Amino acid sequence: VKLLLVKLIIGSLLVALHTASAAPPDGPAVPKLAPVGPSTFRPPQIIGWPSDKTPAAPPGFIVHRFAENLDSPRWLLALPNGDVLVSQSRPERLAGMPDDVIQALTRLDFLGPSANNIILLRDTDDGVAQSTLIEALNLPHGMLLLGGYLYVANTDALMRFPFRPGQTRIYARGEKILAIPAGEQTNYWNNHWTRNVIASADGEKIYLTVGAGTNANENGVEHPERAAIWEINPDGTGKRLYATGLRNPVGIDLEPVSDDLWATVNERDGLGEDVPPDFLTRVVDGAFYGWPYVYYGTYPDPFHAQVNPDQVAAAQKRARVPDLALGGHSVPLGLRFYRGSRFPEKYRHGAFVARKGGVGRAEFLGYDVVFIPFENGVPIGVIEPFLSGFIADRAIGTVHGRPVAIAELADGSLLISDDAGNTIWQVSYVDVAPAKR
């Protein structure tokens, strides 16, 4: 309560001062945001999907179950031969949270035993066959196929395995090519445990997301290389911080026209219903995006404005403003720029974003997949709903599932993982026949 009062008082005094420091001239303009306010902890109750119900897509699209009865499916990787890899994991604990919160999250199935594996889905004449490709991992998330290897981003290490599409099992021991901070003795927080990987357009570099271990580094011992996107060579050498000040970057993809790197980022909690908005942004080499001292360029974090005013002032002068706000606590995770030609032309090269939906709002936001039109490599127009129906009843707080990752198949259809509903959904345009069942 005391910390909340400090945030409200300091925030009300300082939020008006954010315009005193201009945003970097090459970035977007600083938007007008709501003032700091009270926050609500409201986790959804997961009730699953009835057999006769699916998410809803715009007219002309059909949605069906590609795979079901999974175990917290997280990230997706579509392989060139048509197979689909799925990482299955979920946190078993969250350091630093009150016991009653942890108990509530466990009861709601947010925390619990993790499968810690990669499964392979193969479309056959009799449906989609499932097999275990790799097991005994440590909270695996992002995956990448590059140069004869399958890269798997565990929470504490980037692993690679010799692999060629068509294999259904990997028996070789993985090679740990890079250690990743995931809760050290001096800072045991690892609350943003997901790691994601993607290759540069020429395949010469790998980008790796490493979210902050804490909300806003209130304890002052955050690992200096977290809240960042790293760049490395494919063998794990040459690590450098490509971009910093990103509290929890998760989804990453290359924009097809420019090959620029873009990311979805989850902002901090505890400042109000709509503040600060989570966002989608172009990731600029060497840029600093403000966390933990400021958000959206010049808005001071109330805690750090009181405790670290000099760092806040310095951050206001150099923090880059994100490109597109996606709503407070909407939890944008999956990101996919559409490269196919089977959807209507307006979708080509636009961005699909899976907003998982968070627990820090009184009114649910997210629990959907949205579409953002792009033109010449930049977002235009308004955010459009694309896949909805995950919320069962807003009033009582029930949801069928929560979308996480997005992959594109060779036929131009999209796959969306639903870790709460334990399902992979396929979205096809009416001219594209869905996978055989």
Residues 6+ apart with CB under 8 A from 66: 84, 121, 128, 415, 424, 425, 426, 435
| Res 109: pLDDT | 75
Q: What is the mean pLDDT of residues 138-145?
A: 98
Q: What is the mean pLDDT of residues 213-223?
A: 92
The answer to whether residue 13 scores a pLDDT higher than 80 is no
* pLDDT (tens digit per residue) in 242-283: 999 999 999 999 999 999 999 999 999 999 999 999 999 999
Q: What is the mean pLDDT of residues 362-379?
A: 97
The rounded mean pLDDT for the chain is 92
With cut-offs at 50, 70 and 90, classify the pLDDT of residue 387.
very high
What is the C-alpha to C-alpha distance for residues 170 and 144, in angstroms, rounded to an integer?
Answer: 15
Torsion of CA 166, 171, 172, 176, to 10 degrees: 100
| % of the chain residues with pLDDT over 70 | 91
With cut-offs at 50, 70 and 90, classify the pLDDT of residue 93.
confident
Q: What is the mean pLDDT of residues 224-249?
A: 99
Q: What is the mean pLDDT of residues 157-184?
A: 95
| Res 435: pLDDT | 56
The answer to whether residue 3 scores a pLDDT higher than 80 is no
With cut-offs at 50, 70 and 90, classify the pLDDT of residue 15.
very low
| Res 375: pLDDT | 96
What is the C-alpha to C-alpha distance for residues 421 and 35, in angstroms, rounded to an integer?
Answer: 35
pTM comes to 0.93
Are 195 and 154 a contacting pair, CB within 8 Å? yes
| Res 187: pLDDT | 63
What is the C-alpha to C-alpha distance for residues 227 and 249, in angstroms, rounded to an integer?
Answer: 7
Are 74 and 128 a contacting pair, CB within 8 Å? no
| Res 112: pLDDT | 86
Q: What is the mean pLDDT of residues 402-426?
A: 98
| Res 7: pLDDT | 44
| Res 6: pLDDT | 40
| Res 11: pLDDT | 45
Q: What is the mean pLDDT of residues 142-151?
A: 99
Domain spans of the chain, in order of start: 2-131+248-429
Question: What is the assigned CATH class of domain 2-131+248-429?
Answer: mainly beta
